[in-house]
Amino acid sequence: MNNVFASLRHIFAAANVIHIIWCAAVLLTMLILAVLHHRWKDDTKKLSLWRLLCLIPTLICGVHFWLNVVGADYLLDSYYTLYAIPVLSLIPMLFAKRRIGYRIIAVLTGILSCLSGLIFCLISPNFFNHSQESYTGSFHSLVKDMDKHYILKEWKGVDFTALEAKYMPMVEIAEKEQDPYKFAEAVTLFCNEMHDGHIYAYTDFVSDIRDYGFAAVKLDNGDVIAVCTSDEVHKLGIEDGTIITKWNGKPVLQAAAEDVPDLGIPVNTNEQMIDVMNLDLAGGDTVEVSFIDENGKENAVTVTDKGGVKTKTEAFAAFRGLELPADGEKRSKQNFSTKMLDDKCGYLILNAEETDDSLQDTWAYLSGEHKRAKEMFREKLRDLSSQGMEYLVIDLRNNHGGLDVIGYALCDLLTDREWYCQGLGVRRDGRYVSQCDQYIHGDGEFADLKVIALTNYECASAGDGTSLLLSKLPNVTLAGITDPCGCDQETGGISVLTGSMICVGYPTGLVLNEDGEPNIDTAADRISRDPVEVRIPFDYDAAMKIFRDREDYELDWALNYIEAE
């Protein structure tokens, strides 16, 4: 139970004190109403007044709703437990004159209200509604929110005052022109300055996305080649595999580094690869592209924006190991699925640390151990063993995270020792302090199993954490073309800006490593703290298999690698 209480302290430390005060005000009002009823129950006039006073909790929550939800209705789900309390406060009104009935109802109402209040305080969200403010007002409010609540402010060396001064002129122009696209661009660039995979600016106002009929990728040798080419660019001499040398007159890698806007990618080596795939952001309606033709000579052609994002979407889907852009949702339904790749190698998909039992997941988070997940993994690995498994590939690509304890459960089975994995912490005066230390408890049943874990830049949060834990096991090799995303803190902060056109999310819960530092997240140097142990080769042949032939090159490589070891 020590872990449970420590986890609760961690949760309360990250909770929004303002919302807790609102909740306390409602509960205190109900307590006062209970006392008044005891004193006024024999006075008919005062009892009528008491019934009117029972509406005060509803009034308080109405004001809270106006300030925190109106204009951002999708935040309502987080306040149901708070708004349930005034509904409960109305029930005793019906039994005000019934001595026995009132007592029973009052006690039940009090218990349920306190329970709802406790649940709300535990999940009290760091949500801030600035939807009714102006562009400049809401942006200033966002900066204040993040300056106070963003958990990695000190770790990443963020100067929010300087960032506000840098981007406020863009916001002022957007406000003057009432241009939501310019406003979204300013907010997005501001968020990207943190290089945190958990920070996002969700908006429908997206500009500067173009489709020139091909995408570009950077190979290990530094060459940039065209992929996912269309018939239109074939006519210009650009095919799959054509080497691109210049972009609008600049050497292509220089153009990617200088002209592609900062996309906020946490790990700099990942950024260097992803920026090349985003060269469309460094172009206009037309772009002059230089390339090496089939005769080995450099030619230059002008390509035109065809509109849409078809090529880019297909290229990124292929690079992430998906056959089609829409396969992300299909793959998410395959979480925890297993199969044999051949007669010796098993395969486990882990693309989210989540189960279908939210109550069990919550208890596991508090206790630091997910017994159900552990037994699920045990059963699946035993089933693969019964089919002849001698090796295992764990596929963590595109893992969007969830609960770290599910990653612990898998690691428990793959080691026979106990070791520190992470701590749940708090930030005090810019310092990080762990409140709940969590450990791997080695089960050892599959400690001798040879494993390769596949990861990529879209493996984030708890997926990033699982990648790191697996890489520490002597029988596991972490491999990928790219490193994992580079973020592992707990999400929880949301600021909604003008007209709900932009919603900014950021982490507010702290996860620490054994050295008392933020676990995994990159510092200001943006060097990966969870790098792959083996870099999967990304050469011309690999690119053709991925982008042209739509093969799962990484999985094929992993199978060959593990059986050759």
Q: What is the pLDDT of residues 497-509, one digit of tens each?
A: 999 999 999 999 9
**Region 145-165: what's the mean pLDDT?**
95
> 247 pairs with which residues across the strands?
250, 289
pLDDT for res 520: 96
Per-residue confidence band for 96, with pLDDT thresholds at 50, 70 and 90: low
Asked if the structure places residue 55 within a domain, the reply is yes
The reply to whether 486 and 359 lie within a common domain is: yes
Classify residue 509: in a domain, yes or no.
no
What integer pLDDT is reported at residue 154 of this predicted model? 93
Cβ atoms within 10 Å, residue 512: 22
Instruction: Calculate mean pLDDT across residues 535-547.
Output: 97
Residues 140 and 259 in one domain: no
Q: With contact defined as beta carbons under 8 Å apart, do 368 and 405 qualify? A: yes
For residue 404, being part of any structural domain is answered with: yes
327-353 per-position pLDDT tens digit: 656 666 789 999 999 999 999 999 999
Angle at 497 between CA 493 and CA 499, to 5 degrees: 135
Q: Has residue 317 been placed in a domain? A: no
Residue 430 lies in a domain: no
Could you tell me if 41 and 141 lie in one domain?
Answer: no
Closest C-alpha among 270, 326, 342 to residue 529: 270
pLDDT at 516 over 70: yes
pLDDT at 74 over 90: no
Asked if pLDDT for residue 94 goes beyond 80, the answer is: no
474/347 same-domain check: yes
Are 263 and 239 found together in one domain?
Answer: yes
- Domain check: are 403 and 529 in the same one? yes
Contact assessment for residue 509 and residue 527, using Cβ atoms and an 8 Å cutoff: no
User: Locate tokens 């972009």: which residue?
Assistant: 247
**The predicted structure's pLDDT at residue 5:** 76
Residue 322: pLDDT over 90: no
326 pLDDT more than 80: no
Residues 289-316 have pLDDT tens digits of: 999 998 899 999 999 998 888 899 999 9
Q: Strand, helix or coil at 483?
A: coil
Tokens of 69: 């939800």
Structure tokens at 440: 């791997």
Residues 115 and 143 grouped into a single domain: no
Report how far Cα 519 is from the mean position of its chain's Cα atoms: 15
Model pTM score: 0.91
Instruction: Decide if pLDDT at 360 tops 80.
Output: yes
* pLDDT tens string 414-441: 999 998 989 998 888 778 888 888 999 9
Confidence (pLDDT) at 330: 65
For residue 322, being part of any structural domain is answered with no
| One domain for residues 363 and 392 | yes
- The answer on 401 and 439 residing in a single domain is yes
| DSSP assignment string, 109-174 | HHHHHHHHHHHHHHH--EEEE-TTS-HHHHHHHHHHHHHHH-TTTTTTT--HHHHHHHHHHHHHHH
Last residue of a domain, one of 64, 97, 124: 124
Q: What is the pLDDT of residue 286?
A: 93
Q: Label residue 324 by pLDDT band (50, 70, 90).
A: low
Domain extent at residue 168: 134-203
Within 8 A by CB and 6+ apart from 438, the residues are: 3, 368, 404, 405, 408, 420, 421, 422, 423, 424
The stretch 521-547 carries a mean pLDDT of: 96
Residues 303 and 346 in one domain: no
Q: 36-50, 166-180, 194-208, 408-422: lowest mean pLDDT where?
A: 36-50
Q: Are residues 380 and 239 in the same domain?
A: no
Rounded mean pLDDT, 19-23: 91
Choose the weakest-confidence range: 90-94, 123-127, 232-236: 90-94
Q: Which helix (H) or strand (E) holds 59?
A: helix 56-68
* pLDDT value of position 95: 72
Q: Residues 56-75: what's their mean pLDDT?
A: 92
> Percent of the chain, pLDDT > 90?
70
* pLDDT for the residue numbered 329: 61
| Same structural domain, 48 and 188 | no
Burial letters for 415-433: b for 16+ Cβ neighbours within 10 Å, e otherwise?
beeeeebbbbbbbeeeebe
Question: According to the model, what pLDDT value does residue 365 have?
Answer: 84
Q: How confident is the model at residue 387 (pLDDT cuts 50, 70, 90)?
A: very high
Q: Label residue 534 by pLDDT band (50, 70, 90).
A: very high
* Contact status, residue 302 vs residue 288, Cβ threshold 8 Å: yes
Query: What pLDDT does 359 receive?
Result: 81
Q: Is residue 429 part of a domain?
A: no
Say which CATH number the domain at 243 has: 2.30.42.10
**Position 362 in a domain:** yes
Q: What is the CATH number for 454? A: 3.90.226.10
> Domain ends where: 124, 152, 178?
124
Where is pLDDT greater, at 15 or 274?
274
As for how many domains the chain has, the answer is 4
